[in-house]
Amino acid sequence: MNLLMKLTFLASVWLSSTFVYVKANSLEYDGWLNIALFHALDIDDPSKFTLRGNVTVTNRNTGLVSVAQEPLSLQDRNKLKRLAQENRLYRLEAHVTDSEGVTKFLTSSKACALAKSQLTDVLWVSLDHTGTVTAVTQSVNNGNLNECADLSNSDVDVLDEFNTDVYVKHTEPAPIPDTASFIQKMEREREARERGETKDNRSFFAKYWMYLVPVVILLLISATNPEAGQQR
């Protein structure tokens, strides 16, 4: 069995095992997952997170989602107002539940930006090639962050419900190398070496530069210092 046949055999085995692995994971990739959202609104108790809502991804492959969120109470509105006026962060904790268990992700944005956007935000759910969630990220239109110091009660009154868009982001597949052409090239080069047909196509200077450079240096030294040569 020559080198080409060996490499082709190994490549076919690798591709077959990869196909089986991807096929096995594709069943889970199409499965559901639930994301429970908790936010921290209390400046005096920053470790306290309360339920904001739930996001259900019914199919990870298609990115089909449903969102159900709790309306803000008057007390929560005032807490968010205080966060915005003091230029604090609005922190969001996502609890991702799937067949493997629960994974937590923490993301944040400017409370002022969230208030000025009237609770409009975007959640990005990032998946790897197996369909596992690798990140949950919140983004908010920044707007003018200098206008929250004078946030009025009328501005706070409209902050009753979140308007959230959820996008499922898949990992882009890497390009597949052309292994067949590479194997054929290696085989041709090996056969050429065995027959002694390999030619050196380098230029004259590329072949003999190590001999030419010292001569050129000596000539330059002699040309720039002719008096030293005469004194000898």
* Residues in CB range of 113: below 8 A, 6 or more apart: 140, 141, 142, 143, 145
Residue pLDDT, tens place only, 79-114:
999 998 888 999 999 999 887 789 999 999 999 889
Q: How many residues does the chain have?
A: 232
Q: Which residues contact 132 (CB under 8 A, 6 or more apart)?
A: 98, 100
105-154 per-position pLDDT tens digit: 999 999 988 988 889 999 999 998 888 899 999 999 865 566 677 777 77
pTM, full prediction: 0.62
The answer to whether the CB of 52 falls within 8 A of the CB of 145 is: no
